[in-house]
Structure formats: C-alpha cells, structure tokens
Copies of this chain bind each other. A is one copy, B any other.
Amino acid sequence: MNKAQLLECHRKIQDYVHWTPVLKSRLLDEQSGASLFFKCENFQRMGAFKMRGAVHAILKLSPEQQSKGVVTHSSGNFAQAVSLAAKSIGIEAHIVMPQNAPQVKKNAVRDYGGKIYESGNHILDRERMADEIAAKTGASFLHPSNDLDVILGQGTAAVELLKDQADLDILLAPVGGGGLIAGTALAAHFLGKTGCISIGAEPMEADDAYRSLISGKIEINETSNTIADGLRTNLGDINFPIIQKYVDQILRVEEDEIIAAMRLIWERMKIIIEPSCAVPFAAVLKNKELFKDKKVGIVLSGGNVDLSKLPF
C-alpha cells in the first residue's frame, strides 16, 4: 500500500459516498481535556462507513465480474452496504442472511435492492450458501473486512478527516473485523502530519485485537458479550499485518463505559451513534493523560441502532 493508492481509492468512490461532516463539541472537549474532531460516518449513506469499502471493492471488479454481481454473507451493516453500493453502481447483490437475523435488517437490505437468501444460523451455513451462490452465478464474493480494497475504502473516512483537519495528532477508530482500523492507520501514516499515530479501541468483552498485538498472532474471541455489536467479529490475515505495522496501540473499555460514552454523545452532540462507535470516545475518557491537549480525530463509524432497544 502507498499514499497514491489511498488517494486514488478516495477519488474513485467519491460519486457514491458522502463526504461526511466533522463535528466538534466544546463540552466534550472540556470533559476530555483533548480537542476532539468527530468524523460523522453515522451520516454516511446507509448509515455507516461500510458503504465506502463496499463501493470500492465493487468498483475494482472488472466489467465482466461486475456483470455477474456480488455476493456476501452478513447480518449487519455490510449486508446493507453491499446492497446499496451494488444498486448505485447498477449491478446485482446476493445477500446471505441467517434465519434469525432481525426482520428490520432484512427489510433494510431488501429496501436497498439486495436479493436475500436465508441460511442456517451457524457461520458455516452462511459461508457454504455464499460459496454455492458464487459457484452458480459467478458472483464475486466480498468480505466485510479482510480484503485490501475494502480496507482502502474504509480508510477514506480518515482521508477526508485529514483533508478537513490536517494537524491531528492521533486518529482513533473502533476495532471489529479490523478493516476500519487498518484503513485508518494507513491514512494516518501516509497522510497525517509527522508523528500522527493511530490507536484502536475495543470492548474488553471482545478484545481479540489487543491480545493479538501482544501475542503476535491472530487471537480469537471465545465469547463476545458486548453491546457493541459491530465489534464482535475477529481479525483477518490481510488486515492484521497492517494493524501490526501501523497501529500504535489498542485501548480497551468496559461495557458501562461504552454506554456512558454513547449517552454523552447523544445528549451533548445531538447525534445518533451505534454503541460500537462510542468505544473510541470511551477510551479517551478512560485515558485522559494519553490524550491531554492533543488534537484527536475519532471516526464515528455508524448510526444504525434499534430505537426500541436502547440501553438507557
């Protein structure tokens, strides 16, 4: 990877994604002791940064590949992202979702034009069905995080953040499958000012990235009992080496810290964010000395929450 690739990726996807705004809050600056710049991917199309990676991965396919469509399996934001990205680009999207996926998520995928296939609830069921669809239709399989084009796409949120605010000292992103933090780290390294670092944040309850960086190999979440549902997945072999090389450290936070940080952003900034994207802000509040007087960019990854099931 290099700077040119990242900038080319950003140029490529621009017609399909929003250049989301960067918000500040005087009150949260006071509470944290840092100067915080929130990159609002909750305002992104379909409500999350995943749109970026999905668009880029599809645009990188050849015209012949595109004509055969794309396939993925997901019960979350990536299913919606691939559906809307494919529709925007004008190709077909096959989405494998487990039977027990919430109806509201199935509806969202359908609204965005994705073709839904119901699989068994185990991850192996989903993978098998996606493979079958790929074999039958010739559709290209898209992975939500362990794919270089997806990683570059996710990194464009930080590219924009740094174009809007060049003098950031630290970029912060949550760590789930690892695509967003890997892309963010590349942006910090290639486009940030000298000394700009990137830090990942994850729930104590799903701290595979923290443990992986210590052990030097990909560790698995045996359980992942966290409200931050977007961060329950494991790292992959493509994003992990990037994280090892470019991410400064991973900070971990408790569940009550995530909920308190989420509530603070809702109440003070008047914006709706998912629990997952409260995790980096919770890490700032928990490690004030580390961020004191620093200019800190935080990628707010998405805003797709079920309003009927709020934690407060």
Contact = CB atoms under 8 A, between A and B. Distances in A.
Given A307-B310, A308-B312, A310-B307, A270 B267 contact: no
A167 to B, nearest CB: 22
Contacts of A273: 270
Contacts of A308: 312
A68 interface: no
Contacts of A42: 270
Contact of A266 (B43, B267, B269, B307): B307
Interface in A146-198: none
A42 B308 CA distance: 22
A43 B263 CA distance: 16
Nearest to A265: B272
A303 B267 CA distance: 8
A21 interface: yes
A123 interface: no
Contacts of A270: 42-43, 47, 271-273, 303
A48 to B, nearest CB: 10
Contact of A307 (B263, B271, B303): B263
A216 to B, nearest CB: 38
Interface string A259-293: 00001001101111100000000000000000000
Interface string A109-144: 000000000000000000000000000000000000
Contacts of A266: 272, 307
A270 B273 CA distance: 7
A267 B307 contact: yes
A16 to B, nearest CB: 12
Contacts of A271: 270-272
A262 B269 CA distance: 17
Interface in A293-312: 303, 307-308, 310, 312
Nearest to A306: B267
Contacts of A269: 43
Interface in A15-65: 21, 23, 42-43, 47
Contacts of A303: 270
Interface string A230-270: 00000000000000000000000000000000010011011
A269 B266 CA distance: 13
Nearest to A303: B270
A92 to B, nearest CB: 22
A107 to B, nearest CB: 12
Given A23-B43, A43-B269, 13 more contacts: A21-B21, A43-B270, A47-B270, A266-B272, A266-B307, A267-B307, A270-B271, A270-B272, A270-B273, A270-B303, A272-B272, A307-B312, A310-B310
17 contacts: A23-B43, A42-B270, A43-B270, A47-B270, A263-B307, A266-B272, A267-B307, A270-B271, A270-B272, A270-B273, A270-B303, A271-B271, A272-B272, A307-B310, A307-B312, A308-B312, A310-B310
